[in-house]
Chains A and B, each alone.
Chain A
């Protein structure tokens, strides 16, 4: 018997109870939609992480004071940052950073309150993969000489000077006058930091002019040292070298340091943990809905087989083989799940787009998730349809024909 004939019979069977058929597919619809949304959220998170890596710069180590250790915040010094390039092999740049309290910035009649300022070293653009767009960055010598120069974030440059070139202009940051020598490329807001809205200064100037010094607080404390490693393979070796160097300098046990060295992998792991919770929740929703949807299909198919026992008996009397009957009911289950799958794909794609547009999370629809979700739906139809279809095929035509 031809497959398409049975397909038609199965379709007619489903059309007998349109509302019931639709309700039966709801579980599969929700399950499949969850799979697609889940995958697009994961993909969105990955894209965000990739962007994050981009923003930090590739092959980067981040050295910072150990959090939660009393006094540790004061132990990472500018001299540590200077010692690293002298004694560690396998690095291509070091950038120490310190961020004092935000300052008021004035230029050509415009005053902006509470602008973030960052003290950096000459390697900063190279280490952070964040080049200068206009003008130049200050050199190591200029930093050593505490030259009063500034490089502006792209947005801040526009806010202060509009279309005019800021190069060579004088700005007042806090109470210090500085000459603008460069403007950074546009970078945007990454991980809550508005790179374009900051002022970049030589770290020596920051120490001298913006850090408050007292008996406990030295002026040349740095917040973070970024180390650019020559290549991916040298990350482990460089980490070990820096650990022992700083442990010696700080006179601490390398096993219990007062600083941490993070790689990008560490940062990625933290990032992933955030989205993973939501993703896992959706995975549960998807799994449970697909299971419940499958059981719903099985249930409805069993009801249908009972309701149509007489019809099955008649079809058998007229020459339907047990296999024909089995195929008919199996197809009904698979059609139910596939139609549910199709509706679920539409709902999932729509949901992902809405999530991406209005939600907190970034989404990127994964093309592969569509066939995957469809495959899952079909598998569910076959798995949960098999038992009812087999029950139908096992019916004795005489008994079935007598069924009321």
Chain B
């Protein structure tokens, strides 16, 4: 079976001026199998977020190809990329990115608003959102607004939102970056549970203690992957 994510010779160049060009990704190739839990590590400015943006179909590579679930997505237009994000990818951000005026339940419902395939009734959608919130342990916080929730709880709402359209892939760029250590552990535990249920997870982190929970560590330096083994030591 083909890998869920297959990256071939990706480059991402910022800047038009040849003198001042930045190669955020430089001939990077990698593959992530279905069901993997991978942590991406590397020094600041090495290209981790750039890589995550491309994997997340938020950005397109300057050159190279990206096969997601067997489909080449490197040449898709903005509308097609939006649909891929909606169907295939759940995002977890460092800063949660919940809409403050919406309740936890309504925040979780957001991706379903833009779902072009599933046509559930409003009632079915709410049931599904409630299930997702229950699965992250927030069955008693459904109607709370983000400002009434702790950081860890907010991130759990965000994870429920990432799950609602049942995507095969969850992308988390420093999901514990804004959390204390106790909440961080809760979030990592939650990601573990998801991983065990079969979801593929790719996570960027600076903390080796967090990274070691992943089954695999991908190390990025200067826009390229380097031998996985030394990565944790270098960043320590």
Contacts and interface: CB of A to CB of B under 8 A. Distances in A.
In this complex, the member of B78, B82, B101 whose beta carbon has the largest number of chain A beta carbons within 10 angstroms is B82
A193 interface: no
B85 interface: yes
A9 B113 CA distance: 9
Interface residues of A, number: 21
Q: Which of B59, B78, B93 has the most CB of A within 10 A?
A: B78
Contacts of B82: 316, 319-322, 324
Interface string A365-404: 0000000000000000000000000000000011001000
A310 to B, nearest CB: 7
A397 B78 CA distance: 10
Contacts of A16: 101
Contact of A321 (B53, B83, B87, B161): B83
Contact of B97 (A9, A322, A401): A401
Interface in B70-121: 78-79, 82-83, 85-87, 91, 93, 97, 99, 101, 110-111, 113-116
A134 interface: no
Chain B CB within 10 A, most for which of A310, A315, A317, A398: A317
A153 B230 CA distance: 116
B58 interface: yes
Given A314-B97, A317-B91, A397-B58, A1 B116 contact: yes
Contacts of B116: 1
A318 B86 contact: yes
B87 A319 contact: yes
Given A311-B99, A398-B59, A319 B78 contact: no
B56 interface: yes
A322 B85 CA distance: 13
A323 interface: yes
Contacts of B113: 1, 5, 9, 320
Contacts of B53: 398
Interface string B144-179: 000000000000000001000100000000000000
B166 to A, nearest CB: 13
Given A311-B99, A397-B58, A398-B53, A319 B115 contact: yes
A1 B83 CA distance: 11
B79 A319 contact: no
Contacts of A322: 78-79, 82
Most buried by A among B85, B99, B101, B114: B114
Contacts of A320: 82, 113-114
Interface in A300-346: 310-311, 314-324
A319 B118 CA distance: 13
B78 A314 contact: no
Contacts of A323: 79
A196 B78 CA distance: 79
Contacts of A314: 97, 99, 110
Q: Tell me which of A5, A315, A321, A398 has the highest count of chain B C-beta atoms within 10 A of its own C-beta.
A: A321
Contacts of B97: 310, 314, 317, 401
A396 to B, nearest CB: 8
A321 B115 contact: no
Contact of A319 (B59, B93, B99, B111): B111
Contacts of A324: 82, 114
A324 B82 CA distance: 10
A283 to B, nearest CB: 41
B114 A317 contact: no
Nearest to B114: A319
Nearest to B111: A318
Contacts of B85: 317-319
Interface in A45-75: none
B226 to A, nearest CB: 25
B120 to A, nearest CB: 12
Nearest to A397: B58
Contacts of A321: 78-79, 82-83, 114
B58 A319 contact: no
A319 B86 contact: yes
Contact of A1 (B87, B114, B161): B114
Contacts of B86: 318-319
A175 to B, nearest CB: 90
A401 B171 CA distance: 15
20 contacts: A1-B113, A1-B116, A311-B99, A314-B97, A314-B99, A315-B110, A316-B82, A317-B58, A317-B97, A318-B110, A318-B114, A318-B161, A319-B86, A319-B87, A319-B114, A321-B79, A322-B78, A397-B58, A398-B53, A398-B59
Interface of B: 53, 56, 58-59, 78-79, 82-83, 85-87, 91, 93, 97, 99, 101, 110-111, 113-116, 161, 165
Given A318-B111, A321-B78, 15 more contacts: A5-B113, A311-B99, A315-B110, A315-B114, A316-B82, A317-B56, A317-B85, A317-B91, A318-B91, A318-B110, A319-B115, A320-B113, A321-B79, A321-B83, A324-B82
